[in-house]
Amino acid sequence: MCGFAGFANFTDEISQNENILKNMNETLSKRGPDEDGYYIDKHVALAHKRLIVIDPKGGKQPMIQKYSFGTYVIIYNGQIYNTKDLKETLEKNNFTITTHSDTEILLKSYIHYGKNVVNYLNGIFSFVILDTNKKELFLARDHFGVKPLFYTILGNTLIFASEIKALFKYPNVDKILDNQGISELFGIGPAHTPGITIFKNIYEIKPAHFGIFNHNGLKLQRYWKLESNVHTDSLGQTCEKLKYLLNDSITKQLVSDVPLCTFLSGGLDSSIITKFAADFYKEKGLPPLNTYSIDYVDNDKNFVKNDFQPNSDNYYINLMNKHLHTNHHTIIIDTPELANSLKDAMIARDTPGMADIDSSLLLFCKNVKKEMTVSLTR
């Protein structure tokens, strides 16, 4: 994943606030350890922390495109799965594509489609685009809100970032927990009401929404809504359609210029993802897919069968490995490690979450990152 931060004020000049921008960006170092980049003009400041996945040289951010009719700048976190289709459309409309980075495809798609670009995107994303001709920012988040985008407003200034903690590096953005925040935390946490956070005046761009910020302020708009329809397909049609959708979704996420793996718990979701990914690797003549699972010290001694879980995870993990011939790795974690990582896990989330489940995931990912950069999981 990557991370970004920035602020904009189309009324007053903010170019003197470079140090503030750098402080905000430094809080995102763990999201993007490979590169950082900055763009600052009189009214807009943009920063990016990059985890390199695709096109190390061509995907640098902020990415800038200059035309006779204006300059466009993008900061972006995510992955666009239909870049090939978008690229073909752009080239038919006389756009020149110079990299194989989805960042360039996304930026030029915005230049081509304008705010309607979100209707053409298949992927997980949050991004901010500066249009110097219109003197406005375009902010957008993917359909289900996989990628985060938080913001607050101070006077005429919009401050935004991939993580809440970056917003607090901006002067006078205070950490205030009011009654609504307490209700969120203790009433429905670790879930939350879409659009708000536990902190007063700290908001998120809702899933399937975009925003336009200019001298008139910030206006938000929904661009997609999940619809429920009567299911009319037969069992056979349903199976074929489901198989196609799963294969299409999973294989499109296997595009990477860096080491990639899947997490394999032995459950239904991770087993399905690993099955399609392993088959894809075989079809392309690639080395066996790397898979990773987590286990705990003495778990084999302390596991007790029950109706909910009649077998340990390892039983099903081993079945999948034998069937798919993956290159499997098991990360073993001890209880003291989990306890010592509880605070780090909460800091990573910016809010209290699911305790040892979060610290388990944090430690697991830290260990996997030693060899892999991208992982597919449910």
119 within domain boundaries: yes
CA distance 174 to 152: 10
Yes or no: say if 201 and 122 are a contact pair by the CB < 8 Å rule: no
Same domain? For 203 and 293 the reply is: no
Q: Report how many domains make up the chain.
A: 2
Domain that holds residue 167: 3-222
- Which pLDDT score is estimated for 157? 97
130 within domain boundaries: yes
- Hey, what amino acid is at 229? N
- Hey, what amino acid is at 334? D
Catalytic residues: 2
CA distance 73 to 84: 22
Cβ atoms within 10 Å, residue 182:
12
Q: What SS3 class is residue 156? A: coil
Last residue of one domain, picked from the residues 222, 252, 279 = 222
- Which pLDDT score is estimated for 73? 98
357 within domain boundaries: yes
Yes or no: say if 152 and 176 are a contact pair by the CB < 8 Å rule: no
228 within domain boundaries: no
CATH of the domain at 320: 3.40.50.620
Sheet holding 35-40, edge to edge: 35-40, 44-50, 3-8, 157-161, 150-154, 203-204
* Residue 41, phi then psi, degrees to nearest 5: -130, -165
227 within domain boundaries: no
Characterize the bridge pairing of strands 44-50 and 70-80.
unpaired
316 within domain boundaries: yes
Yes or no: say if 341 and 366 are a contact pair by the CB < 8 Å rule: no
- Which pLDDT score is estimated for 313? 85
Could you list the mean pLDDT of each consecutive 10-residue stretch along the chain, which spans 378 residues?
Answer: 95 93 96 94 96 88 92 96 96 94 97 97 97 96 97 97 97 95 92 94 98 97 96 96 95 90 93 96 95 90 76 87 94 94 93 91 94 90
230 within domain boundaries: no
Same domain? For 203 and 268 the reply is: no
- Which pLDDT score is estimated for 74? 98
